Amino acid sequence: MSKRSPEDIGNSQVESVITKSPFNKLGQKYGSSKNEEDIGEFEDPWEDEFETESEEEIIENSELDSDEDVEEEDKEQVEQVEQVYLPGQELGKDEILEADQSTYVMLHSLNVKWPCLSFDILWDNLGDERKMFPVTAYIVAGTQADKPKNNELMVMKMSQLYKTQNDDNESKSFKHYGGVNRVRVTASWADTGKVHIWDLDPLIKALDTSGFQISQKALKPLYTIESHSIEGFAMDWSGTVPGRLLTGDLRTNIYLTTKSQSTFKADRNPFVGHTSSVEDLQWSPVEMNVFASASADQTIRIWDIRGKKKHALCIKAHETDVNVITWNSNQETPSPVANFKWHSAPITSIEWHPTEESVLGVSGSDDQISIWDLSVEHDTEESSHKIFGKDGTEVPSQLMFVHQGQNDIKEIHWHPQIPGCMISTSETGFNIFKTVSI
């Protein structure tokens, strides 16, 4: 995501509102429309003239024929307009994409001053499995501003989120020197090569409590990791051992930082083995000492933190860079399921649904988010009803939903306390939505 001037940002915000176009697999539409002002008022050419019976019959028959012609034209127009749209398909001169709102339970957009490469969702005390509207969500995000000194680490409260209606949002922020490459609660990877660990409680209290004052001390990081000699993007907190943080940089190094009683301690010796930049890190959801790494060297490696000299397993996972990985926490014995070719540009983020073990969300640089249900099996009886693009691309049966309308999507997350709710960040701001499919 490139940095932009304030003028560019203003234009993109307006454009994102005008061209916002998220679609599902079957509810996508495109077409052209004519201005109603071009249609003149109806005039009776005969006005008050008296007509013979034979003339009346002729006129009536002609009116019937005219009605039939209009109906046929309407049918043809409907057939032309209501077509299945596949991402990447070119539009005609006067054609525009329109969101099919019937495919969303909720859809809201949030514009921000500076775009954010990364964000994370904050757990709150509003309860789990929330299905009542309006909903409230808290997130933390880091900016990519025009100058290092203008960057911020923001805590945002999105409230009054009704079923596709206006929403309220507030934010509080820390000053953050350098662009924020990635955010994982509550750590931020800066493009300065440093990783900062923060206490977000004061900002959350300021959002929820009127008149709450944040002290100057609270605006500074709790701890700064300076083990890396260059910036990076890979970062993950352990879900089995609180306070364990992994960070990976562009020079292949992976460092472990551990929380003690009073502070944090970063290991001096890195995990080495990758031959190119470390793109993503994931702790095992069940093994406290095991984690996985993805790299631009086309491999995924499994590590045990008790042995830093060598990885335990190395798999060549792809013919190109492996940008992101995610560990399905709902299955203790993972096995290969399927291989899908859908996105036409690099994958930027993937995440398993927190409660539906077969549901997966994927975002790509092709400006789309795809939602999959891997439990859907191929049905031979429905083969004749398969959908194909103009280039012959088949729409997989497991593809449940395609969301569009954002430019340069960087990261997605399922909200762990609001079933089916997804939040995404892009060059043009944030989307928070819930579809009818999941």
Q: What is the pLDDT of residues 154-193, one digit of tens each?
A: 999 999 999 875 556 678 787 888 888 888 888 999 999 9
- Check pLDDT > 80 for residue 53: no
Band (pLDDT 50/70/90 cuts) for residue 223 is very high
Q: What is the pLDDT of residues 246-263, one digit of tens each?
A: 999 999 999 999 998 889
- Check pLDDT > 50 for residue 10: no
In a domain, 140, yes or no: yes
Q: How many whole angstroms separate alpha carbon 177 and alpha carbon 199?
A: 17
- Check pLDDT > 90 for residue 335: no
Cβ pair 291, 256 in contact under 8 A: no
Containing structural domain, residue 211: 112-192+194-227
**Total tally of structural domains belonging to the chain:** 1
**Which of 41-45, 61-65, 112-116 is predicted most confidently?**
112-116
Q: Which of these, 226, 225, 242, lies nearest to 283 by C-alpha position?
A: 242
In a domain, 292, yes or no: no
Q: How many whole angstroms separate alpha carbon 221 and alpha carbon 33?
A: 54
Backbone CA torsion sign across 390, 396, 402, 407: negative
pLDDT value for 427 = 94
User: Facing residues of 359 across strands?
Assistant: 373
pTM: 0.67
Tokens representing 418 are 């609001």
* DSSP per-residue string spanning 37-58: GGSPPP--TTTT----HHHHHH
* Radius of gyration, CA atoms only, the chain: 27
215-229, 250-264, 292-306, 389-403: range with lowest mean pLDDT: 389-403
- Check pLDDT > 50 for residue 26: no
pLDDT value for 170 = 72
In a domain, 126, yes or no: yes
Residues of 169-184 as b/e, b for ≥16 C-beta within 10 angstroms?
A: bebbbbebebbbbbbb
H runs (alpha helix) in 184-332: 201-208
Q: Which of these, 114, 118, 141, 167, lies nearest to 351 by C-alpha position?
A: 118
pLDDT value for 350 = 94
Band (pLDDT 50/70/90 cuts) for residue 74 is low
pLDDT value for 36 = 39
In a domain, 391, yes or no: no
User: Hunting for tokens 């203008």 — which residue is that?
Assistant: 150
Q: How many whole angstroms separate alpha carbon 125 and alpha carbon 372?
A: 30
In a domain, 178, yes or no: yes
In a domain, 213, yes or no: yes
In a domain, 321, yes or no: no
In a domain, 187, yes or no: yes
Average pLDDT, the chain: 80
